Homo-oligomer: A and B are copies of this chain.
Amino acid sequence: MPRALTNEEQNWVEQTLNAMSLPEKIGQTMQAHAGRLPFKQNDEQALAAYLNKYPVGSFFIGGEVIQKAAGKAGEYREWIELLQKLSRVPLLFSGDLEAGAGSAVRSLTTFPPLPALAAADDEALAYAYGKFTALEGRAAGFTWALAPTVDIVLNWMNPIITTRCLGDDAKRVARLSAAILRGMQDHGMAACAKHFPGDGVDYRDQHIITTINDLSEEEWFGTYGEVSAHLIQAGVMTYMTGHIALPWLEKVPHGEPPVPATVSYPITTQLLRERLGFEGVILSDALDMGGFLAWGDYRKRIVDCFNCGTDVLLWPGVRYFEVMEQALADGSVTLERLDASVRRVLVLKARLGMQRLDLAGRDPLAQELRNDTLPQELDLEARELSRTLGERCVTLVRNRQQLLPLDPLKTKRVLVIMLNKATEGRKFVRMELFVDLLRARGLEVDLLEEFEPLDTLQKWEMSGVRWDAAFAPYFMPLHGMMNTARPVGEAAKAIWAMLHAETIRPIGVSFATPYLLRDMPFLDTLVNAYSLHAESVEFTVKALFGEVPFQGVSPVQAEDHS
């Protein structure tokens, strides 16, 4: 459990609360999306006017802001200081810092994602993962990581957390995620465990529609419930509810829509708050997601979301103020309930030391920035952690023909069968890093990425071309409405091409799902690298050629043993 507040902190909370106007209280219970501010973001007058009219309590900073700020940590910090200066009540700034502060700010460090951390399975590394996310993030102005993902991948077809969580074992998820959040919270960053009551059971994506965690009560307490209890015990400051229904707790008649946690009193208040005893801030998942939108009209959605026990609503839009004032006026929301949430938000701010900001909005608890990174020693430590994880995660899942490691002296010409042409309109250029690294070794690389790979491969084989190794790297971004974790479309055709070829023994390399064998069980050789994190790709290539060992252990059951 988190420490008790000091008297001074407690006083600040109560005094701040007592001095608040109604709009200021309402504002504490929403989080705005900085990328959607309706003006150029460093316009001080416009910002001041905005905060005066909409005194929000926190901002989320995502991709759009990065682009405007060219990804420099210093620019974030300056902008955040400006907002802090302009806001009467100190603000919190959140980001999807799931894989380091580099997930949000380009000049900072991006670590490999959680499945890679789970493949290394080392609590000390997990603590450091949280620590450097916090130190770097706070230096750039962030105080609230919407991380770690504490879901459990119980359904390998889940299209959203398969590449974003700590695997399929509840105990490992609990152990490593607790280490991450301690690392974060010990270094000035609120962690946010997500997504309650747990993603990873449904085959669908709550960005698109409401999903369902259909475990029984007993199964739930043996998995997600166990993780939650462990994290609450470890003192997690905030929890994110997802647009995920939990039928054992709230069963609806056939034909009625499922009730996502984000509007469910039984899930949010009775289970998370009361039964599990979580006392921190409950943040909803983003309210522009399909899984929430289906619930009802705007007013109904918002009021139900607040009343079910949510403290902070994520991206409700500024109509929120008007709807809440009306709801308070007509009694559908009570002031008592509002004050309870505002108090929890202020307690969180006090814990993070927000009352210590100076009048210029500067944060005395943040590390200095040098050239948009941490001071040299810390920066080196963060980058070293990134390399270490990149090296430690690479997992040899299968090596039945003992093809690996490849002999660098005998490997001259290689084939790369690209498996990522999944959807129209996107280019996954980062897959090219793998090819670039092969070419940088002096290898002759033939690239198969045709619409009709079968014919091309046959043509090459019949013309007498032979390869010393054939790689089948796979990547598909899950957090992008793909609605599948499996190779589909032209990627599926490439699988066929591989089987059709007569001279190759394909070496699979997954830079995404750890479950490639479920669709390609014939692969006798498979390496899981979990992501396109640059150093993971680098060490994958080194490991393929025997320059470093494969050290990772798959955090999921990679093949079907049924």
Contact = CB atoms under 8 A, between A and B. Distances in A.
Interface in A494-511: 495-496, 499-500, 502
Interface stretch (A16-24, A386-394, A518-526, A530-538): A518-526
A315 to B, nearest CB: 12
A484 B481 contact: no
A293 interface: yes
A294 interface: yes
B496 A208 contact: yes
A499 B258 CA distance: 15
Nearest to A294: B522
A520 to B, nearest CB: 7
Contacts of A288: 500
A522 B257 contact: yes
Nearest to A562: B214
B424 A489 contact: yes
Contacts of A205: 492
A441 interface: no
A311 interface: no
Contacts of A203: 157
Contacts of A495: 208-209, 290
Contacts of A293: 499-500
Choose among A258, A492, A500, A522 the residue with the greatest number of B CB atoms under 10 Å from its CB: A492
A425 interface: yes
A450 to B, nearest CB: 9
Contacts of A491: 483
Contacts of A481: 489-490, 492-493, 496
A221 interface: no
A423 interface: yes
A460 interface: no
A496 B489 CA distance: 21
Nearest to A257: B522
Given A290-B496, A424-B423, A209 B522 contact: yes
